[in-house]
Amino acid sequence: DAGVTQSPTHLIKTRGQHVTLRCSPISGHKSVSWYQQVLGQGPQFIFQYYEKEERGRGNFPDRFSARQFPNYSSELNVNALLLGDSALYLCASSLLVAGGIDTQYFGPGTRLTVL
Amino acid sequence: DQQVKQNSPSLSVQEGRISILNCDYTNSMFDYFLWYKKYPAEGPTFLISISSIKDKNEDGRFTVFLNKSAKHLSLHIVPSQPGDSAVYFCAASALGGSNYKLTFGKGTLLTVNP
């Protein structure tokens, strides 16, 4: 079975530009979460979507937005890019069984470099 | 304020010996804990997890211990193999919340020497 897939794998943008990152979850998983990992840190939670609705949002500015589609794939959008947005962006999927154990499985990530 | 702490940035062990990676947390709402392994240029790979109703969970060479009173968990790898060399992240979530976001530590770089 295919795992979580993300595209593109690498991206170079300049300050002020906009970027869209894409994620396809594991088949059968209805929840998608986005994380940002900067060098030397653990992943930081950005968003979680379940059944196309936002379930949680981390401490990120409004320049960050996301959405989930009927096939449960997801997009992360970042507007007005700053140098500090350079990071590895990780997507994770899970079943999100209410009240149950929820293990998140990660994709390979998209490496974003902002110049 | 870091709610999940991995105080050892790195650990080096000999092949065949035990590796012990430690993690502390401060948020008493956390009730599910996970360990992930990460190689460079790859996403984190799920290793093993434990819920707060248990104090030990074992899967092959990997065992996770949870001490709720101390808010401490550890990952034991026995025997350690060179292929285990990677960054290990401890993560925690609160299953009773509206979302199951993971809060990660900064990671520990494990090097297993042949």
The pLDDT tens digits of the residues spanning A20-37 come to: 999 999 999 999 999 999
How far apart are the C-alpha atoms of A89 and A77, rounded to whole Å?
Answer: 11
How far apart are the C-alpha atoms of A95 and B52, rounded to whole Å?
Answer: 20
Judging contacts by C-beta atoms under 8 Å, the chain A residues touching residue B4 are 42
> What mean pLDDT comes out for the span B28-51?
92
A92 DSSP assignment: E
A92 close to A106: Cβ distance less than 8 angstroms? yes
* Burial degree of A6 (CB within 10 A; 0-12, 13-18, 19+): buried
The per-residue pLDDT of chain B, averaged, comes to 93
Judging contacts by C-beta atoms under 8 Å, the chain B residues touching residue A110 are none
Reply yes or no on whether the pLDDT at A100 is more than 90.
no
Tokens standing for residue B34: 């996970």
Strands A10-13 and A110-114, bridge-based pairing: parallel
Looking at residue A2, what is its pLDDT? 81
Strands B108-113 and B10-14, bridge-based pairing: parallel
Looking at residue B10, what is its pLDDT? 97
- In angstroms, the separation between the Cα of residue B80 and the nearest Cα of chain A is 23
Looking at residue B98, what is its pLDDT? 58
Looking at residue A1, what is its pLDDT? 62
Reply yes or no on whether the pLDDT at A4 is more than 80.
yes
Q: Do A42 and B51 touch (CB under 8 A)?
A: no
Token pair 């304020």 in the structure block, residue: B1
List all residues 6 or more positions away from B69 whose beta carbon is below 8 Å from its beta carbon: none
Looking at residue B47, what is its pLDDT? 96
DSSP, collapsed to helix, strand or coil, labels residue A98 as: coil
If one counts every other C-beta atom within 10 angstroms of the C-beta of residue B105, the result is 24
> What mean pLDDT comes out for the span B15-43?
94
> What mean pLDDT comes out for the span B104-111?
97
> Could you say which of A33, A102, A107 has the minimum Cβ distance to residue B43?
A107
How far apart are the C-alpha atoms of A85 and B41, rounded to whole Å?
Answer: 18
Q: Do B106 and A105 touch (CB under 8 A)?
A: no
Residue closest to A55 by CA, chosen among A77, A91, A38, A30: A30
What confidence tens digit (pLDDT) does each residue in B59-103 have? 999 999 999 999 999 999 999 999 999 999 999 988 765 567 899
> Could you say which of A31, A33, A101 has the minimum Cβ distance to residue B51?
A101
- In angstroms, the separation between the Cα of residue B22 and the nearest Cα of chain A is 15
Tokens standing for residue A32: 């998608």
Residue closest to A94 by CA, chosen among A41, A33, A47, A31: A31
| Amino acid letter, A39 | L
- A-B contacts at Cβ under 8 angstroms: 70
Looking at residue B112, what is its pLDDT? 97
What confidence tens digit (pLDDT) does each residue in A40-99 have? 899 999 999 988 899 889 999 999 999 999 999 999 999 999 999 999 999 999 987 666
Looking at residue B50, what is its pLDDT? 93
Tokens standing for residue B3: 């709610």
Looking at residue B97, what is its pLDDT? 59
Q: Do A101 and B99 touch (CB under 8 A)?
A: no
Q: Do A106 and B93 touch (CB under 8 A)?
A: no
Judging contacts by C-beta atoms under 8 Å, the chain A residues touching residue B106 are 40-42
Reply yes or no on whether the pLDDT at B104 is more than 80.
yes
